[in-house]
Chain A
C-alpha cells in the first residue's frame, strides 16, 4: 500500500508502557488537528515499530498496519515544530512562551508552552476543547530511567493524562 502523499506524519507515540514509532495517517490534516478531531477515536498507523519503555531502543514487534486508540496515547513526539495546529498560526494577540514542567504516567516532560494573549490555566487545561496540548522544545524522561531522554520539535500531550502541570511565573525571554 502506497502511503506517500496522503498526509502521513512520522512520530513517536508513547502509551503507559510502550514507545511506538510509526507513520500516522493524519487524513490530510496536521497531526494535532487530527488528534483533536473528536469524530474519530482511533489513529491509523503504518510501519509500526514497538518498543517497551524500559528498553526504548529495542524493537519487540513490527507491523505494517496498526490502529491506536487516541485516548490510549500519553504523548506524541514530533520531529519538527511546524507540525503544530494550523488553527493557532495567526492571531491578533501577542504570543508568549512559558517554561513548563508536567508529569504524566511514567514520564516527566519539560518544555515551552506558547500562549496567545493572557495565560489562563483553567482555560488551557479544563475549558479548552482540545484533547492534546502542544509543547515545544520538549525533553521527556521516563521517571524510572531519568538518564534516558526523548526530544523533538514538539510534544503533543494528552490533557486527560496530565497529573501535575507547572508553569513559570513570567514568560521565558
Chain B
C-alpha cells in the first residue's frame, strides 16, 4: 500500500481518482489547490503524487517545480494527469519535474496501472542522480588572479550552455564580485538569514536567492563584515548539502584566505579549482595552499589547478609552473583584458556578452569538462 497525494481542483475528478486508487489498496490524500497539496507534501512526503495542470492560483507546473525544489520531495514520483493533451504541455510538465504525463482521456484502470508501474520502479533513479549536485569551489590564497571572474563565467556557462541548474555561492564579502559582474542587487545574505537556529531547507535558502537572467541563482553568503558574522562551518556544510539536493552545480566563489568559513566551504566541496597566475608569488601561494590541503586530508584528486593569464607578457612558462607544483595543469585561461573589463563594467559576464572570445571559449570548455553529459 502506498500513500498517494492527489491534487486536482475538480472535485468530481478527485473523487473518481480517489475511488480508483482506494480500490487498488492505496492510501489517498487529496488537495483541491496547489498550495494545499504542497503543504501536505512538505509535511509528509507521499510515495507518489498525481497532479492536475489546470488549477486556479497555482497551476500544476508550478506545483511540480516546487515539489522538486523541496529536498524531501525531490525523488517523489509525479504523474501529471490533465485534460491538456498537447505535446507542448507534456514537454513542459516533464521539464517541471513530472515523471509521467497522462491525459484525462485515460480510464481509471490505465491511471492505476501507471501508478503501479511507477511505484514498482520506485523512483526514477535517473532523476534523483540528476539532482545530486556537485559543489565546485574556486580558491586562491593570492588575490587578484581572477578567481571570481572564472567562477562567475563558469556558473553562467553551465547554466546557459549546458542547461544545468546552477547556484553561485558568493563568499567574497570584502570584494563582493558577483553583484557587480552579474549586475544584480542582493538584499539579504545567508548569514543574516541563518542567524537563528533555523532548519535549513531549499525553501528557506530561496529567500536570499537572486535570479540572474542566465538562470544562475546567486546566493550571497555575507554582504558586509559589519552586517553579519561569517556562518559557522557546520552551517556551511548543511547549506552545501541542501543546495546539492536542488542544483546540479554549486559554484563557490571563496575569499583569498583560509579562514574557518572558507575552509568549511573547501572541505565540503566535491572539487576545488585552485586558480593561479603565471608569476612567482602566485605559484608560491599555490604551493603553500596545496601543502595546507594535504595537511587537512584533502585528496589530490579533488584539486584542479587552473592557470589564468592575468597579464600579457613575461609570465612563467606552463612547464615551469607544472614542475613547481609537481602536477599537470589541464586548464589554461588566455589573457583577455579589454573584453573582460568591458564585461565587468557592463555587468554582463563574458560567456554571455562575448561567447566566442578566447577566455569565454576556454571557460565553456571547462564547463563541458565538468559536465558528465
Contact = CB atoms under 8 A, between A and B. Distances in A.
Nearest to B84: A21
B54 interface: yes
* Count class of interface residues, chain B: 20 to 34
Interface stretch (B87-95, B212-220, B248-256, B343-351): B87-95
A151 B10 contact: no
Contacts of B61: 57-59
Main SS of chain B's interface residues? loop
Contacts of B54: 21, 47, 49, 59, 62
Given A21-B54, A59-B59, A62-B56, A79 B12 contact: no
Contact of B86 (A58, A63, A80, A151): A151
Interface in B81-136: 83-89, 91-93, 103-105
Contacts of A12: 84, 86
Contacts of A59: 53-54, 59, 61
Minimum-distance CB pairs A-B, first 10: A57-B92, A49-B54, A59-B59, A62-B56, A57-B88, A10-B83, A57-B89, A150-B86, A148-B88, A56-B88
A79 B85 contact: yes
A41 interface: no
Contacts of A79: 85, 103, 105
28 contacts: A10-B83, A10-B104, A12-B84, A12-B86, A47-B54, A49-B59, A49-B84, A56-B88, A57-B61, A57-B84, A57-B88, A57-B92, A57-B93, A59-B54, A59-B59, A59-B61, A62-B55, A62-B56, A64-B56, A79-B85, A80-B105, A148-B88, A149-B86, A149-B87, A150-B88, A151-B86, A151-B87, A152-B85
Interface string B153-185: 000000000000000000000000000000000
A63 B55 CA distance: 10
The interface residues of chain A, by DSSP majority, are classed as: strand
Interface of B: 9-10, 12, 53-57, 59, 61, 83-89, 91-93, 103-105
Q: Which of A21, A56, A149, A151 has the most CB of B within 10 A?
A: A21
Contacts of B59: 49, 59, 62
Interface in A118-156: 148-152
Nearest to B91: A57
A21 B83 contact: yes
Contacts of A57: 61, 84, 86, 88-89, 91-93
Contacts of B12: 4
A77 to B, nearest CB: 8
Interface string A50-76: 000000111100111000000000000
Contacts of B56: 62-64
Given A21-B54, A49-B54, A62-B56, A56 B85 contact: no
A25 B297 CA distance: 71
Contacts of B88: 56-57, 148-150
B235 to A, nearest CB: 37
A4 B54 CA distance: 17
Contacts of B53: 59
A109 B341 CA distance: 51
Contacts of B92: 57-58
B12 to A, nearest CB: 6
Contacts of B91: 57
Given A59-B61, A79-B85, 11 more contacts: A21-B83, A49-B59, A57-B61, A57-B84, A62-B55, A64-B56, A148-B87, A148-B88, A149-B86, A149-B87, A150-B88
